[in-house]
Amino acid sequence: MLIISVGNVIVLLLDLFSHYTFSYWISFVPALIFQGQIWRLVTFIFVPLNENLLWFLFSVLLYYSIGRSLEQSWGATKFTVYYFLGVILTIVYGLIMGLVGYGWYQTANMYYLNMSLFLAFATLYPDTTFLIYFIIPVKAKWLAWLDLGFLALAVAGTLIGGNLPMALVPLVAILNYVLFFWSDLMGMLGRARHRHSRQTVNFKQATRQAHQQKGYLHKCAVCGKTDTDDPDEAFRYCSKCNGYYCYCSEHINNHVHIQ
């Protein structure tokens, strides 16, 4: 992410000195790529999404921080695969759009790919708090739902306008998120169905009783840390383990799955 962030800063500076024409020469335009300007297949990832200097710097720092957090959680290899899978999917679909009548459009940028980074972060660290306008505290999970809501509105609006190829752009860009978190998403759906089953034990009542008897509600199955020891710790249940096994943020992605 450091290379991407520094590249964004350099391109913005070059834009300032070229009256924002430099970004045009490196953006993703299929017709120009087909004419031999193949550098655009790579350079579009450095095109800034915001011309406002303050918001640009804020977004660069934000996504650099998110990228570093994902890299520390997953490891450099997994993070690199996740990121560049999104890039490759975006490139392939951008070229396909160039073949179906959108050759002179900028059919690929980093907006929705950056969203896929934030969705991954919000899934791994749902209770991380962000200060909107440096004042309003909002947890990452709620911002992720808000992002998905705007994405759904964008897709729906484009479909209503009869533009199916353009409607698929955001869906393709976040396909890497769906592929990487498929088991987690299915696990959440499975738990949701389980909670609504008539044969399911009242989970809230059971957790209250467990809290009264044990003195804690959540306990990491690896290190033994509880929500009583650290009330601010984000505990999560692993969808890949056979049973309800709880883990702290340090071990949710670093444990042997129990079968």
- How much is the pLDDT for 37? 94
Most confident of 37-41, 69-73, 110-114, 255-259: 37-41
Q: Which residue has the tokens 């990121």?
A: 83
Nearest CA to 60 among 125, 127, 13, 107? 13
Q: What is the mean pLDDT of residues 187-212?
A: 56
- The predicted pLDDT at position 243 comes to 72
36 class by beta-carbon count within 10 Å (0-12 exposed, 13-18 middle, 19+ buried): exposed
> Which of 105 and 259 is assigned the larger pLDDT?
105
- Are residues 86 and 92 in contact, defined by beta-carbon separation less than 8 angstroms? no
In this predicted structure, the answer to whether residue 199 has a pLDDT above a threshold of 50 is no
* Average of per-residue pLDDT across 61-67: 88
Listed range (94-103, 164-173, 184-193, 239-248) with the worst mean pLDDT: 184-193
Range from 53-62, 140-149, 207-216 that averages highest in pLDDT: 140-149
Map residue 25 onto helix, strand or coil.
Answer: helix
Q: pTM value?
A: 0.67
Given a cut of 60, whether residue 50 has pLDDT beyond it is yes
Instruction: Give 10's strand partners.
Output: none
Other beta carbons less than 10 A from residue 210's beta carbon: 14
Question: Is 204's pLDDT higher than 60?
Answer: no
Answer for the pair 103, 31: CB distance below 8 angstroms, yes or no: yes
pLDDT value at position 3? Answer: 85
**Confidence band, pLDDT 50/70/90 cuts, at residue 164:** confident
Are 246 and 218 a contacting pair, CB within 8 Å? yes
CB 86 within 8 A of CB 176: yes
pLDDT the model gives residue 16: 86
> What is the rounded average pLDDT for all residues in the chain?
83
CB count, 10 Å around CB of 79? 20
Q: Could you give the angle at the alpha carbon of 46 between the alpha carbons of 44 and 48, nearest 5°?
A: 100
- Tell me the per-residue pLDDT of 117-136, one tens digit each, with 9 for 90 and over: 999 998 888 888 887 777 88
pLDDT for 6 equals 87
Domain spans, the chain: 2-180, 201-247
Which tokens belong to 255?
């444990």
Contact present, 122 and 144 (Cβ < 8 Å): yes
Pick the CATH number of 2-180 from 1.20.1540, 1.10.260, 1.20.1260, 1.10.150: 1.20.1540
Per-residue pLDDT reduced to its tens digit, 19-48? 888 988 999 999 999 999 999 999 999 998
What pairs with residue 247 in β-bridges? 236
Of residues 212 and 159, more confidence is placed in 159
